[in-house]
Structures are given as structure tokens and as C-alpha cells.
């Protein structure tokens, strides 16, 4: 994984635990979502009932897991964590649902990747707090209804639009998680530096925030690398110079582009005159899987206005030519 990938590996999730905000007040940014949530939670507490089911949509590393933990903590409820890919059969889901405690918060990450039959089971559970357990096979099979404890489902997905409407409709509200502003990331970085116990200069925080692609996970990861550098090769202080040296070492440029991002732009401009070029051709040219290019690199390139996806293929924008300091040919496609 690159230094600016928004996804986390299992090891990284372990380290991340230490930097997680534990309360809504500690959670930086996402004003609207925080406001919506605090209303739902306050009202549930007042009525002494489990709140409506909550859907969170947004890219990896924006704080969905963190918010689910905060929801459970604010309700004083236990939390169960599972994910769509872990639910391959409806039996997997039945096992989870039937062992929930009253008021428990069930966090279902990547809910759009759950098996279809399980989805049907989830509809009933969400609406009626009931699971129909099928016993036997073929014509003799019977469904035995089983009451389950009232719970709150917190579903997370990268795109709410990908969910089937009947599932989407069963959530009380959808929290749309946006990318963070540079100022919000700076606040997160200062908070994290405090927890790590390593001094962070204002200008260093600004530098790291600017290269973190609007994503707290990336900001915290870059911070940990700057901390390493400061402790091993520096004077133990995360200064601007240390931050710059670290980011250069990890090949993260001033806009947060890494080596793969720049390779893609380089090939697109220098070999294909700015496109249009197909995804698979582009991927082969940079020596990567098409999926890596599409899922890891492209979203940020598109969001930053360097690349456009058109029906005829990928096209570089004028900004891409400018960023690489190349004059576009007169017939460039944009």
C-alpha cells in the first residue's frame, strides 16, 4: 500500500485505535453529520428507546468506524462490528442477529457487499426485530420466526446509491461523510501529535494536511512517518523541514499525489497526448492492475481535476498539463 492510500491494512487498524476520538465533541469536522447525529442520539436517550437505524456513506478513512464506536459509546450500548463480505450466507447474519443484546449497536461495514439472501433477512430484522430461520430443505422447509432484541443498525457504504432501495429506505437517516478541509485536518493532526506525545510545529501540520487528500487516515499515517523521521533522524520535533524531508522520502508531492498518480499522468500526457485512452491500456502502461488504477488512483485524480473519465476513455485536463509543466499539443482532447 502507498503512503496516501485511503484504505488500511489489518496492522494499521491496530495502530489507529490509539488516535480515535471517543466522543462526538472530540470528533473533528463533519459539522452537519455531527449535528444530525446528536439530535438522533439525544432524542433516543430522552425516549429511552434505541435510535433509528443509521446509514453512513463516504470513502474509506473518513471516520465511519470511528463514528459507529462513538454512537455506541454515547448510548452506553455495546457494539458489534462485522462487514458485508463476512456475511456470505443468511445463516451468518442470523447468527449475529440472534445473539444481539437489547439496544446493541451493530456496525455493518461495506453493507453493499452482503450476500443477497442475507439482505432479505436484514429487512425483516430492521423493521420487525424478527429473524425467520429456515429449517429443513426443499418443499418440506419451514420458516420459524424468532424474535430478536431491538438493536440499532449502523451501516456503512462507499456509495449510498449502490444500495437497493428497500434497504436504503429502512434507515432513519443517511449521514453523508465529506472529505475534510485542510484546516480540519490540521486540527486532527495537532490532536494526534498530542496523543503521540511528539511536538508538531504549526507550519509542519499545514504541510502534512495539504498533502493528505482530505482524509484523516492519510493525515494520521503521514504524521506517524514524520514522527519516525523526527525521532530517528531529527531532534524529536516535527518541524517543517522534517515534514518535507519525510514526504519527499515517501514520494508524496505538494498536492498529495504519489508515485502511481504521477506515473499515470506522465503516461497519459507523454505517451497518449492527453488521451482519450482506455483504462486497461493505461494500466498496462504503468505496470499496474486495471483495478488498482481505477480504485486506488483515479478517484483522487478525478476529484482534484487532473483526469476526466469519458465514454471514449481517460482524458487529461489542462490542470494535469500545468501540474507536470508540459505544454499541451494543439489537438489535445479536453
Binding ligand ATP (rule: CB under 6 A), the pick from 51, 84, 214, 216 is 216
Q: How far is the CB of 108 from ligand ATP (least distance, A)?
A: 12
Angstrom distances, CA of residue 65 to CA of 13, 28, 52, 86, 127: 10, 14, 18, 16, 23
Q: For the chain, where are the alpha helices, taking DSSP H only?
A: 10-16, 31-47, 64-75, 90-97, 116-128, 165-168, 182-196, 202-210, 216-232, 240-249, 259-270, 279-285, 290-291, 298-303, 318-323
Is 261 one of the annotated active-site residues of the chain? no
Catalytic residue among 211, 213, 217, 314: 217
Smallest gap from Cβ 211 to ligand ATP, in A, equals: 16
66 has catalytic annotation: no
Of residues 33, 41, 60, 212, which one binds ligand ATP by CB under 6 A?
Answer: 60
Q: Which stretch binds ligand ATP (CB under 6 A): 25-33, 120-128, 197-205, 300-308?
A: 25-33
Of the residues 66, 82, 109, 262, only one is catalytic, namely: 109
Region for residue 230 given its phi and psi (left: phi exceeds 0; alpha: psi -120 to 50; beta: otherwise): alpha
DSSP state of 274: T
Q: Residue 158 Cβ, how far from ligand ATP at the closest point, in Å?
A: 7
Q: Tell me which residues in 101-140 interact with ligand ATP (CB under 6 A).
A: 109
- β-pairing, 79-83 vs 54-57, is unpaired
C-beta of 178 vs 294, nearer to ligand ATP:
178
* Residue 275 is a binding residue for ligand ATP (CB under 6 A): no
Q: Is 221 in the site for ligand ATP (CB under 6 A)?
A: no
Active site residue 281: no
Select the span of 15-23, 201-209, 225-233, 311-319 touching ligand ATP (CB under 6 A).
15-23
Least distance to ligand ATP from the beta carbon of 65, Å? 3
Instruction: Judge whether 46 counts as a catalytic residue.
Output: no
Is 158 one of the annotated active-site residues of the chain? yes
Residue 112 per-residue DSSP state: G
Element (H, E) at 181: none
Cβ atoms within 10 Å, residue 62: 25
> Of 16-24, 99-107, 140-148, 228-236, which segment contacts ligand ATP by CB under 6 A?
16-24
Shortest Å, Cβ 220 to ligand ATP: 5
Name the residue among 250, 252, 251, 264 with its Cα closest to residue 302.
Answer: 264
- When the beta carbons of 63 and 275 are compared against ligand ATP, the nearer one is 63
Is residue 184 a contact partner of residue 84, using CB atoms and an 8 Å limit? no
Handedness of CA 194, 190, 213, 39 (dihedral sign): positive
Residues 6+ apart with CB under 8 A from 119: 164, 167
Closest separation in Å from C-beta 216 to ligand ATP? 4
Rule CB under 6 A: say whether 27 interacts with ligand ATP: yes
Whole-number Cα distances in Å, 158 to 62, 108, 171: 10, 12, 16
Q: Contact with ligand ATP (CB under 6 A): which of 4, 21, 211, 321?
A: 21
The answer to the question of residue 29 lying near ligand ATP (CB under 6 A) is: yes
d(CA 87, CA 116): 10
- CB of residue 217 to ligand ATP, shortest distance in Å: 4
| Comparison of 66 and 152: residue with beta carbon closer to ligand ATP | 66
Catalytic residues, which ones?
Answer: 64-65, 109, 158, 217
Binding residues for ligand ATP (CB under 6 A) = 7-8, 16, 19-21, 27-30, 60-66, 109, 188, 216-217, 220
Amino acid at each position: 500500500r502507498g503512503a496516501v492510500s485511503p484504505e488500511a491494512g489489518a496492522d494499521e487498524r491496530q495502530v489507529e485505535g490509539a488516535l480515535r476520538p471517543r466522543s462526538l465533541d472530540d470528533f473533528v469536522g463533519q459539522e452537519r453529520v455531527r449535528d444530525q447525529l446528536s439530535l438522533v442520539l439525544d432524542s433516543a436517550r430522552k425516549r429511552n428507546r434505541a435510535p433509528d437505524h443509521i446509514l453512513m456513506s463516504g470513502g474509506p478513512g473518513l471516520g465511519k468506524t470511528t463514528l459507529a464506536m462513538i454512537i455506541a459509546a454515547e448510548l452506553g450500548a455495546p457494539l458489534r462490528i462485522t462487514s458485508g463480505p463476512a456475511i456470505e450466507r443468511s445463516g451468518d447474519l442470523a447468527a449475529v442477529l440472534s445473539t444481539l443484546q437489547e439496544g446493541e449497536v451493530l456496525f455493518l461495514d461495506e453493507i453493499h457487499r452482503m450476500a443477497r439472501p442475507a439482505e432479505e433477512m436484514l429487512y425483516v430484522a430492521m423493521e420487525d426485530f424478527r429473524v425467520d430461520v429456515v429449517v429443513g430443505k426443499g418443499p418440506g422447509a419451514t420458516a420459524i420466526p424468532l424474535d430478536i432484541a431491538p438493536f440499532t443498525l449502523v451501516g456503512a457504504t462507499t456509495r449510498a446509491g449502490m444500495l437497493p432501495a428497500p434497504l436504503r429506505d429502512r434507515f432513519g437517516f443517511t449521514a453523508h461523510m465529506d472529505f475534510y478541509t485542510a484546516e480540519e485536518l490540521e486540527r486532527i493532526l495537532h490532536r494526534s501529535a498530542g496523543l503521540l506525545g511528539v511536538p508538531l510545529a504549526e507550519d509542519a501540520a499545514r504541510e502534512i494536511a495539504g498533502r493528505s487528500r482530505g482524509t484523516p487516515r492519510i493525515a494520521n499515517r503521514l504524521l506517524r512517518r514524520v514522527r519516525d523521521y523526527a525521532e530517528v533522524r531529527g531532534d524529536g520535533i516535527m518541524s517543517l523541514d522534517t515534514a518535507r524531508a519525510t514526504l519527499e522520502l515517501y514520494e508524496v508531492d505538494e498536492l498529495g499525489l504519489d508515485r502511481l498518480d504521477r506515473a499515470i499522468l506522465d503516461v497519459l500526457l507523454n505517451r497518449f497526448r492527453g488521451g482519450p485512452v482506455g483504462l486497461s491500456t493505461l494500466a498496462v502502461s504503468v505496470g499496474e492492475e486495471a483495478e488498482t488504477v481505477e480504485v486506488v488512483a483515479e478517484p483522487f485524480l478525478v476529484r482534484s481535476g487532473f483526469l476526466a473519465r469519458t465514454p471514449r476513455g481517460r482524458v487529461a485536463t489542462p490542470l494535469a498539463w500545468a501540474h507536470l509543466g508540459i505544454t499541451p499539443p494543439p489537438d489535445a482532447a479536453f
